[in-house]
Structure 1
């Protein structure tokens, strides 16, 4: 939307509607109705408690929201022309009336929430333009864009983040790598018995079919019946991903990770969730498709403008140089999702403000030679979050201290090697007040974007830098055993192990073939609980995120 106070009430109303579509699972419902569209929820506003993201009252509405309510019309910039509307297939086909696909159906869900607050007679008017529409948004003659417009794009050669106002993030696209799939070849080195080899392949294929490796597969199995119980370490953890799960799921709350692991192993749970990286020895681990972003937070207003531009310039350069990956790789099993709210492929488009004309907080940093950063802890009790950050160590270790080293190297390269990073250690709300009055320049980048301040979204009270990264919680489910060579040297023994025979062979396994129906089983090696990291399309989120989140609300 356009910047400025004229937009505030409409922005709050749009945020309220977005939060309710998140909370109600509308993104998941609409994505599943339009395969193969896939959605990643990126939460920049808290969606667990919609009541804390209220709609402005209609009778006191101001600015653009008052204009919408007076005219009963919400004007939205849409990409296309009246004579040439786009057909993006499952993403959105606007050539038909009514339009179909993910984005038109999401906007129908959005308008349902908006009308519930302000009246069923509010009309959605799409203004079709391929050029010039941005200027009409910026002058307020069009109220806002469609939600598919790109956050990290440029306008007039500079970041849209500096020229526009943004709602809560609706969703994110996650780009996908792909490679050639290798065919599975079943061989039997001992026997030429094709029947046994075929039976073993059938057994393995069945186990593969029952394996859960994606959120889509999990929801499919929950919908198809059987065990619908899932395990969580808190009700808040369940609520944070509830919108991405089948409505049939039955949450079960556990007090410890070992109990949770055991319940998945013994089959009493279909799957489970923890914050961080689960044990990949026993389990398949897969994304929740919900991302919680992290960014530097500063006070609102003109005093922050130059400092925010300097922060954004550094962040874009750390993204462009792969320094998030470097910091994550150096601190396993920490994993990070890059969330781009600023264009990172061309750092030259995101310049540093000139030191000689710096204003506000940036001028204070340059004059005092100190960048004061709010850190969660106290001077006599620094936190130790393991690979996320051990601030008790000298020098500090872990992902976030390493990232801040990369950050400060670039900040100093621009403004002077004599700039000192001063951490101001605080817990509770006192530190937030110091950020909001400017006595502390900004927060550490690990503070939570979508949390609340005084029971309202921080998005409404703070300014945010470009997003640094996101945490992504992971589901996990029992991994089926697929290597049966330890059961015996022949296909018959391996098939019996795959099929779960219950007798026990004592002593040395025979090398001769046994009848297929012999009542034989094997003592298979017990599984271990060694943790391994999970690689996916992006670097997925990790480690002790839950502990950090608990501290930083």
Structure 2
């Protein structure tokens, strides 16, 4: 009897593992070709200075990632006979559907209140797909970038409403998106752009660096710190471990966020990729020295 159960268990385990492997292969297959090509193209754009030129053009506090050095070059665009292959679908339709957050206006970083959107992030997306289009069709305008806007971009990605997200997203780990979506179905691309998070505070508080802010928080309970996104707040979870109430979801632009500080609704604001020409005489800008990476997401 014991031998029977052991044999039964081994057979059950074998079929279970086989099913998991097949499921993972399907998941990997859908966007694996797209991710290989996408990363290789971005690597080439970093190498020839085009992404750095784009950063300078928009005067944003970003730097190109150094993590793509080992990404293999793509001499030919891979083709697949699988009908679910995302890259094949894009090339056949000559259109890529890109998901972005609805109603966001970050100025020169990216204005998503207009369609097509403008600014650094949209121009980076256009540049990448023009380069892919040129390589495949010898025509940089053959593939159309179609932006679609959502309150929950990752839900749209899970539901196959889009082919990929924009490049500005941060890690989903420990975020509310994890609870709303099946993140196991989503693949995070390699980081393309890095930035150092900045903190905005009123000059009258005489807070000039991170240690000053920590001291202020220790002396004053339940201070409110605003963030443009939940991910911005998560980047500081280990820096301000107590005495802070984080506020996010209410601000669609740097101006909205800075106004909440000027009105003393919030003590400070955390932002990423602040435009270098951003200047308010009543605010101090502190470099948090915490680096954050931006990536596209695929399914």
When the two structures are superposed, what TM-score results if normalisation uses the length of structure 2?
0.51
Give runs of aligned pairs for residues 272-283 of structure 1, distance below 5 A.
none
2:64 corresponds to 1:41 = yes
C-alpha displacement of 1:109:
1.5
SS of residue paired to 1:33: helix
Which whole-Å CA distance do the structure 1 matches of 2:119 and 2:30 have between them?
32
Segment drifting more, 104-113 vs 91-100: 91-100
Which whole-Å CA distance do the structure 1 matches of 2:91 and 2:105 have between them?
31
Give runs of aligned pairs for residues 115-264 of structure 1, distance below 5 A.
115-119=133-137, 120=139, 121-131=142-152, 133-153=153-173, 154=175, 155-157=177-179, 163-176=185-198
Flag the 1:345–1:177 CA change in 2: closer, same or farther, 3 A: closer
2:107 corresponds to 1:107 = no
Aligned to 2:107: 89
Which whole-Å CA distance do the structure 2 matches of 1:141 and 1:161 have between them?
16
Q: Residues 309-329 of structure 1, C-alpha deviation per residue, up to 9 Å, x if partnerless?
A: xxxxxxxxxxxxxxxxxxxxx
2:289 corresponds to 1:538 = yes
For structure 1, the 5+ residue unaligned runs are 181-339, 348-535, 541-553
2:58 corresponds to 1:65 = no
Flag the 1:53–1:139 CA change in 2: closer, same or farther, 3 A: farther
Flag the 1:92–1:145 CA change in 2: closer, same or farther, 3 A: same
CA contact (8 A) 1:86 1:95 kept: yes
Structure that is richer in strand per residue: 2
Give runs of aligned pairs for residues 502-521 of structure 1, distance below 5 A.
none
C-alpha displacement of 1:118:
2.2
Q: Residues 414-447 of structure 1, C-alpha deviation per residue, up to 9 Å, x if partnerless?
A: xxxxxxxxxxxxxxxxxxxxxxxxxxxxxxxxxx
Q: Residues 58-106 of structure 1, C-alpha deviation per residue, up to 9 Å, x if partnerless?
A: 54475111111111111111111xxxx4321111123446533111221
Q: Residues 168-198 of structure 1, C-alpha deviation per residue, up to 9 Å, x if partnerless?
A: 2110221136897xxxxxxxxxxxxxxxxxx
CA contact (8 A) 2:58 2:108 kept: yes
Which whole-Å CA distance do the structure 2 matches of 1:75 and 1:23 have between them?
26
Which whole-Å CA distance do the structure 1 matches of 2:236 and 2:124 have between them?
29
Which whole-Å CA distance do the structure 2 matches of 1:170 and 1:113 have between them?
16
Aligned to 1:366: none
Q: Residues 29-64 of structure 1, C-alpha deviation per residue, up to 9 Å, x if partnerless?
A: 1121113x11122322217xx7x3216535447511
Flag the 1:345–1:93 CA change in 2: closer, same or farther, 3 A: closer
Which whole-Å CA distance do the structure 2 matches of 1:539 and 1:174 have between them?
6
When the two structures are superposed, what TM-score results if normalisation uses the length of structure 1?
0.29
Flag the 1:170–1:117 CA change in 2: closer, same or farther, 3 A: same
Which whole-Å CA distance do the structure 2 matches of 1:74 and 1:28 have between them?
24
Flag the 1:136–1:97 CA change in 2: closer, same or farther, 3 A: closer
CA contact (8 A) 1:136 1:142 kept: yes
Q: Residues 138-160 of structure 1, C-alpha deviation per residue, up to 9 Å, x if partnerless?
A: 24341110001222453233999
Which whole-Å CA distance do the structure 1 matches of 2:122 and 2:36 have between them?
22
Give runs of aligned pairs for residues 387-398 of structure 1, distance below 5 A.
none
Aligned to 1:501: none
Aligned to 2:51: 27
Q: Residues 289-330 of structure 1, C-alpha deviation per residue, up to 9 Å, x if partnerless?
A: xxxxxxxxxxxxxxxxxxxxxxxxxxxxxxxxxxxxxxxxxx
CA contact (8 A) 1:151 1:160 kept: no
Aligned to 1:14: 38
C-alpha displacement of 1:13:
1.4
Root-mean-square deviation (Å)? 3.6
CA contact (8 A) 2:30 2:86 kept: yes
Aligned to 1:76: 98
Q: Residues 264-308 of structure 1, C-alpha deviation per residue, up to 9 Å, x if partnerless?
A: xxxxxxxxxxxxxxxxxxxxxxxxxxxxxxxxxxxxxxxxxxxxx
CA contact (8 A) 2:99 2:164 kept: yes
SS of residue paired to 2:97: strand
Aligned to 2:282: none
Instruction: Number of aligned residue pairs: give it.
Output: 183
Flag the 1:113–1:96 CA change in 2: closer, same or farther, 3 A: same
C-alpha displacement of 1:135:
2.5
Aligned to 2:225: none
CA contact (8 A) 2:154 2:181 kept: no
